[in-house]
């Protein structure tokens, strides 16, 4: 039971982000994920094209 009371006390110290900050951070994560997905797609397509030229 001491563990749960310690958890409860620590959770009181946590500062939660505002709704505005949470939306901003979520948009940044989604945008970054899309950029990396596009980057990996372009790199993968390029590597496949190069290998297909080499193996012809």
- 8 occurs within a structural domain: no
With respect to residue 11, please indicate whether it lies within any of the assigned structural domains.
Answer: no
| Angstrom distance (rounded) from CA 19 to CA 22 | 5
Full residue range of the structural domain in which residue 47 is found? 16-55
For the chain, the domain total comes to: 1
What average pLDDT does this structure show over 35-46?
A: 98
Burial per residue of 8-30, b for 16 or more beta-carbon CB atoms within 10 angstroms, e otherwise: eeeeeeeeeeeeeeeeeeeeeee
For the segment 9-20, the average pLDDT, to the nearest whole number, is 94
Q: Is residue 30 part of a domain?
A: yes
The predicted structure's pLDDT at residue 56: 84
Residue 3 lies in a domain: no
pLDDT band at 53 (very low <50, low <70, confident <90, very high): very high
9 within a domain of the structure (yes/no): no
Distance CA 42, CA 26 (A): 24
Asked, for residue 5, whether it belongs to a domain, the answer is no
Give the C-alpha separation, 14 to 31, whole Å.
27
State percent of the chain over pLDDT 70. Answer: 100
DSSP annotation of 56: -
pLDDT for position 1: 82
């Amino acid at each position: 039971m001491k563990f749960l009371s310690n958890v409860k006390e620590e959770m009181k110290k946590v500062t939660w982000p505002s709704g505005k900050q949470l939306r901003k951070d979520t948009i940044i994560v989604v945008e970054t994920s899309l950029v990396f997905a596009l980057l990996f797609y372009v790199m993968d397509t390029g590597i496949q094209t190069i290998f297909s030229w080499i193996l012809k």
